[in-house]
Structure 1
Amino acid sequence: MFTSDMAESRQKTVVLQDLSAAIFGEILRYIYSGNLNVSMDKVQPLYQLQAASLLQLDYVRDTCSSYMAMNVEGSNCVNLYKFADVFSVDIVRKTCLQFICRNFVEIASSEKFCSLSVSQLTEIISHDDLDIKEETTVWEAVVRWVQHNREDRLQHLPSILPHIRFNLLTSGNIAAILEHPLVREDPGSSKAIRNVVKKRNPNLKPRLGMTMEMAILSNTETDELLFMNPQQGRYISCSYKPEDIPEVTALTATNDNNIYILVNEYDGLDQLYMFRYNHAENFWGHGGISKVSKFKRVHSGLLTHWNEFLVEVDHVLYYGAADLGEGNTLVRMRKYNWQMDQWQGCSQLQIDGTESSELSVALSCGAQIYFIMTSAMHRYDPSQDCWCERTPPNMKSPYSHFTAVAMGTKIFYTYLEFTQMMVYDTDSDRWQKLQGWPNPGNRSITHTPSLFVLENQLHILLEVYDRDTPGLSSDYLVYVYDRSADAWRDLKATLPKKEYIAHGPSCPVARMYLPYLRGAQKHITAYACQH
């Protein structure tokens, strides 16, 4: 204000309107002492001064916004959200919105929720991350908001209703809403509901609280997928028609909850097609992505290994192939350009001196892709299109098979016997040994274990048999890792008695909307649920 071309910059005396002497005293103390005392009763008036705008004190503005963001709770989240919305304090507004979404049932029942403006209300109820079990919760919140000031707010109901996800409501729910007095008294509201129901917008996803994280396994003998959450005791099997789920080359679950598979289809083995899982219909269809040419093998013979993979980094899909031969390994990749609908080449990796018996995995961690073997490890940086060498696990084992999964900035790794596990810190480029399977009894693992991260916890799936009881079929065990105790706990999982495998170095995990799995069965031949 004082350094710009505003009139105040040329006046000897400037009257600051709506300025508390006590709050301005805090500003003066900061100017002379360098200390700023912030509390919840003072932080909004301090920011409202817009010290950065009026007095050009950026530190005051930044300190106040950070303080508000760190102190968001149930009693103040609505007021802070409204304040941040008015003054465009993005960090506070985002934090409040996340808190309200995570605690929507509680916040929507409060008196303060009814003080939101119509634009603030619609922003909140439009959010994917509402932690609610049923969409009727959103409708009930809207009713409370309207009835708080019925005379002024009823006119806004037709513009609010399209933000309720009627595709997630039963026909009975919709009929009850149409019969509600608020709707019956306003022809515009009734028309708005009927239009929304008629359009059935497929892009309206289930809310976060309606979904459950589930690991995905394939039946080795049939076209069946198993969706499981052992912590919740949920195991759902869906059998698909053979023509609806072709032979899978690679599979990945992305950060935005899409599940993609690369398949061989139609015109020979030199082209791969991308299929995407349709959550609402519970079937696999073409993902709207152009086909990609399959990499040709360079090495051949008994002592070679071929590993194709599909990973995602920052919403970009990467198809790759590792060609492991005697003495060297070649890794090639292509990335998908969404704007141009084409696959583009990436720099390749040549590793010399590798053993012919080694296997490999590729996975994404953070913004990079890691290619891991027992004796070699490299990291690909998409921003630079280059590879760099990293410290390999060097875990000694008579078996070459292993499993690996990323969680945060760490990569967890173990081999067939699972007598120990290793964790890699991507920041320090160091490996650390952790506890392996406690193996109660005389049991052996029959196939390579599969690590997976479910609800931010590390899990592992084991297929084992009892060596003291020959002839019996194998059993599946699922353990969860307690990092603080460096110990594994048996979840007493009850998987169906079938043969399952994971596609890739770990079990892919995605958030599934259970009513879709139960209700959309026209594309599957069988459905079974146990819990």
Structure 2
Amino acid sequence: MAAANQEPHVSAVRPRSFQDESYLDGFLGTVSDLQKAGVLQDVVLEVEGRRFPCHRLVLSAASPYFRAMFTGGMAESRQKTVVLQGLDASIFGEILSYIYSGTLHVSMDTVQPLYQAADLLQLDYVRDTCKSCMAMNVERSTCVDLQLYKFADVFSVDNVLKRCLELIHRNFVEVASSEEFCSLSVNQLTEIISHDELGVTEEITVWEAVVRWVQHSKKERLHHLPSILPHIRFDLLTSDDTAAILEHPLVGEDPGICKVIRNVLQKGNPILKPRHGVTMEMALLYKIEHSSNEILFMNPREGKYISCSYKDEPFAGYSATTVTSDNNIYILETKKESDEEEQLSLFKYNHVKNVWELTGLSSASREPGTHIKYLFEIDQILYYMRDYYTPSRKVRLRKYNQHTNHWQECAQLQLEESTQHGDCAALSCGPHLYFLTSTEVYRYDPTEDRWSKRTAPGIIHQVHSAVAMGTEIFCTDLYFDNTIVYDTESDCWQKLQVTE
């Protein structure tokens, strides 16, 4: 009897919960099968005359747009066929495929209309994925896409818009001569020409671009000219250029335009600075002192040196430096965190603000031993190379993924044991990286992630420095007693004759 009076075991009164890990995948797969088989479909969506039989429940679960349509008492909730406006049929087919499968297929041809459709249908994942794809493409691009700029402006895709503007400013002369330039809105035009970073060497170039834009549709655009003119920096124009502008036929067509120009000339605008391209045709990195917080540049056009103080304290670690093809300057600072790891800090020089800005901070594995560090850029991707002076004599290579903020491991290069300390140079030339010594030459192909051995020079005692010009690489020894040149296309070396 005593046993009968005891409390039941806890497990008998408290139910346990079990989660079927495969349920969601199986459920989604079954729903997809029902859609493919045309079973239990209760609504037809019509886009551009093409009919898409669907399930109201599935559409409502996937999209707030459809949930409001089918549950909010709208007329569409009672219709067997619902016509959708403002969508492309093939794009909607891809959207529907995503809703039923969870898989999205994106290409650069479809990313913009997919984003537009996702924005309408309130599909956050599709919209965010398209945004990431556009950002990745524009970050890697060196070409200006005004269509993408206009799209990013309309839909407020800020990171894409910022990068597009950088490319437009840097390549303004090319952009202003394109057909697409004339399709910009007045707000987009003024946004572009108002920036200090505009890549022009003469302010008259900006006026000529504005004239071209107005004349493309003069009847509709001439009245915008008075609001555009204050963004042109008349203080930077020569007297001849100013006189030519005042005599231009466009100015004569509206007395108000001439009045605006004279007011701007009379009052000036102290807020507006010289364009970046006007004051500096080219800036070359000259030298970095590891014991100083200054960096020196040279402006070849003016024959002047420029000093930049980039932080209160010098970089703590040994820094690798590179100038990229789009004229950006990067410094990679390494700092020991432990015996196994080090911190990698990537800084980018802001030409306009004259400061260094941190663009990436990450950790990476560390190896003991002395080493030489290199930083390169190929096709808008940064590569970080280390030549370790350890018994193994290996060269370690990483590339920077700016979207994940991590340095990814690439193929390592094993050197011959006979290679001597200090007898090496590394650089990028065309689409490849090169590692050179007096007895070895290796080429890295980023598309294949592979090193290959090339013809060794054999005509110089030591390779101390190297520079690439076009498809050729010029190498010298420590005291510039010998200079040799390597043709990367023919894989041949020759010694240059020094004339006194």
Normalising by structure 1, report the TM-score: 0.47
Q: Which structure's relative contact order is higher, taking Cα pairs within 8 Å and 6+ residues apart?
A: 1
Structure that is richer in strand per residue: 1
Higher CA-based Rg? 2
